A = this chain, B = another copy of it.
Amino acid sequence: MADKVKVAINGYGTIGKRVASAVMRQDDMALIGVAKTKPDYDAYVAAKNGIDIYPVDPAKAESKFKAAGIKIAGSNEDMIKKADIIVDCTPGGIGEQNKPLYEKLGKKAIFQGGEEHELAGTSFNAVCNYDEAIGKQFVRVVSCNTTGLARLIYALDKGFGVKKVRATMMRRGGDPNDVKRGPINAIVPDPVKLPSHHGPDLNTVLPNIKIDTVAVKLPTTLMHMHYVNMNLKVTPSRDEVVSTLKQYPRLWLIPSWMNIKSTADVMEFGRELGRPRNDMMENCIWEESVSVDDSGEVNLFQAIHQESDAIPENVDCIRAMMGIEKDAKKSMDKTDKTLGLGNFAPWIQKLP
């Protein structure tokens, strides 16, 4: 194998820490380090895991890190210089501010769904448009909600042709440790003016799909829930729809006997399996919910783990941009195997 791709993570929050862990599991990538402004429990665990930490301003941060017993390896810019590619996991809008630095240093960078499509010019979902990212300097991995929609719609469009999609995103208010966000006791149409951005965002990776989307924010932290309605171009049986969904990667059909009745149960299942951080990176589709009428109209529920579902896409995006794997399926298979996707045996027992 050629030299490993050197990956740096700029921003070490919900997404950044997961991309770091995922990169460390790839044999064709090496994690150079992560950017972290100040010491905290995330920095502590990163350091204990042997990850190099690069604050934006080491002079300012050094004494704080030293007091916490955590070494720092240099500045954020030092880290970026050492890397072949940067995965920018900073909060929405900050990626835009960082882009000039990546350009100046001639580095490739991946942005997350919180940035505008135009910042990168190419948006990405592995199963939909892997090829478009091959060799690019800047690519944006679409958000958790769009990733969840894209995987599902792609599968049914390939299988039967999709005429029209209507999707209702019931969004978590904030992530589990994000105690300052809300709502805590309301249902917030977000945005009120329709459609929500998810439909147009989906079209950045699946341009030919007609789609209406609405989103509401809810007082929960665990997952998003999607209610998806679709008109297909043909009229398959329910069994045909279910078996098609089962053939595509990163879609998990929840069997009814598992008695998974809510997003809380989905995450509890991830916890029982011993998955790292309980992450359920697959679209979790209630098999029982899938219904198809005699005009080819499909309805279903899927739960989307906002913290983790786009993580495998980031790994695949690195491979595409670096040109180390030109075949989408091969990259996805490798990513899924190393991250344990689609594998519902207790995590530690079965991974390579």
Contacts and interface: CB of A to CB of B under 8 A. Distances in A.
A335 to B, nearest CB: 20
A39 B176 contact: no
Interface string A172-187: 0000111100000100
Interface string A251-273: 00001011111101101110111
B269 A346 contact: no
A45 B185 contact: no
B177 A264 contact: yes
A276 interface: yes
A348 B346 contact: no
9 contacts: A41-B259, A41-B265, A44-B258, A48-B349, A67-B257, A68-B258, A177-B265, A272-B277, A274-B277
B267 A271 contact: no
Nearest to A174: B264
Contacts of A49: 346, 349
Contacts of A246: none
A344 B48 CA distance: 9
A173 B45 CA distance: 30
Given A177-B265, A185-B185, A278-B278, A258 B346 contact: no
Given A39-B258, A41-B265, 10 more contacts: A40-B257, A40-B258, A41-B259, A44-B258, A45-B272, A48-B344, A179-B261, A179-B265, A272-B277, A278-B278
A345 interface: yes
Contact of A41 (B40, B178, B179, B268): B268
* Count of identical protomers in the assembly: 2
B45 A273 contact: yes
A221 to B, nearest CB: 8
Interface size class of A (residues with CB under 8 A): 35 or more
A78 interface: no
Between A44, A260, A265, A273, the greatest number of chain B beta carbons within 10 A of the residue's beta carbon is seen for: A44
A64 interface: yes
B264 A48 contact: no
Given A271-B278, A346-B49, A258 B41 contact: yes
A107 interface: no
A257 B176 contact: no
Given A257-B39, A260-B41, A273-B45, A268 B346 contact: no
Contacts of A258: 39-41, 44, 68
A179 B262 contact: yes
Nearest to A68: B257
Nearest to A345: B48
A327 interface: no
Contacts of A274: 276-277
